[in-house]
Amino acid sequence: MFSGPPADPATPTMQASSMPSTVPSVGEMGDISGGASGATPARRSWAPSLLLGAAGLLALLIALFGPGLMARGTGELRIPGAGLTTVLRTVLFAALALHLGELVAPQLIRPVRGRPRTAVRSWAVLASLAGAAAAAGQIVRLAAVSGLGITETYGTREGGLLLLIANGLVIAALCAASRRPALALAPLAVVIGAEALRAHPEAYSPEFGAALTVVHLTAASLWTGGLLYVLRTMWLWRGSPVAARALLGRYARLAIWLYVALAATGTASTLRRLPLDVVFTSAYGRTLLLKLALMAVVSVLALAARRRMLRDTDPAVAHRLARREQVVLGLVVVVSAILTVVPDPHWISLRP
């Protein structure tokens, strides 16, 4: 299925000149309705910049202080460097989403009739390199916390898996820079598998938990990264609203199945990992409730965008709602990173 380049083969794809992010840049994500009419007034150009800056600052603050705030008053042991670890894990998850999105979204673009022969710039190389750097940063942090050398850290279970993740992302970046970028699927699959194993070191059914995480992380990455690529393409196609509307419709149909996979695996993971008696008194339970609240907002925005897409021929309103969905999904990525950092809630559960 993924045998072609991440864009229309008739048009070469330029490499990105900026670092990847879970929130698209202002230059590529302006309002569709205003992009084709000429220059935007200066006073309106400030609003997207301020909103994106505020969202990025909020995400950073949540990552740095979220683990401590969630664990306050729970009696759980403080995890050294939890804020920095959350930031690094957020970068890693964002890198996976960006790269997987660039591999899948072009498959939605090719069947669109009358589409412009233009393609967005690829962020896959920079995204995977940033993810590899984040994994390497976690190895350094683990070595500092444990008092081990870097070589000894590689010998630990977590250190070895992080090394595998870092190397897998470097190979994925090399594949993205080659003539066969779809080859990156193999190292990205290894990265997802290693991350699933790393996130489930518990003694109770770790294999089942890892399998759930593989499906959950893959679906979440495809949803987030795919939406970002589609929105960037819609902005590039702002002069062809019919093609832009068709592309958003194709993505919406895929997103339904991704949502089902996320809901099923998320529910199963919660039932196996979170005892009911510590839902409100553990950092894991509190963080999960915050994630569920954000996912509810994402669901409302996604349904609203689909309704407007079916009702209006002009995709401008649906595009705006989908952009807001993307921003909230960025916050979900941060909260998901916190979930992988906070302590296992079974330690404070009163259940045997």
Average confidence (pLDDT) over 99-106: 94
Q: Residues 29-45: what's their mean pLDDT?
A: 48
Integer CA distances (angstroms), 53 to 46, 48, 56, 259, 301, in order: 11, 8, 5, 28, 21
More confident residue, 322 or 20: 322
Q: H or E stretch including 106?
A: helix 82-109
Share of the chain above pLDDT 90, in %: 47
Please check the confidence at residue 170 and state whether its pLDDT lies above 70: yes
Mean pLDDT of the region 264-293: 90
User: For residues 171 and 87, what is the distance between their CA atoms, to the nearest angstrom?
Assistant: 23
- How many angstroms separate the Cα of 104 from the Cα of each of 60, 108, 111, 202, 266? 28, 7, 13, 33, 22
Query: Which parts of the chain are beta strand (E)?
Result: none
Percent of the chain with pLDDT over 70: 84
- Is the per-residue pLDDT at 4 higher than 80? no
pLDDT at 5 > cutoff 90: no
Q: Is-contact 236 115, C-beta < 8 A?
A: no
77 band by pLDDT with thresholds 50, 70 and 90: confident
This prediction's pTM? 0.82
Q: Encoding tokens for residue 227?
A: 């939406």
Q: Is the pLDDT of residue 14 over 70?
A: no
Q: Which of 74-78, 165-169, 249-253 has the highest mean pLDDT?
A: 165-169
Closest CA to 138 of 85, 91, 90, 195: 85
* Predicted local distance difference test score (pLDDT) of residue 311: 78
Q: CA–CA separation, 198 vs 204, rounded Å?
A: 14
Higher pLDDT, 327 or 49: 327
Strand partners, 122: 15
Rg (CA), the chain: 20
* Residue 88 pLDDT class (50, 70, 90 cuts): very high
Least-confidence region, from 10-24, 69-83, 117-131, 185-199: 10-24
Least confident range of 12-21, 42-51, 112-121, 312-321: 12-21
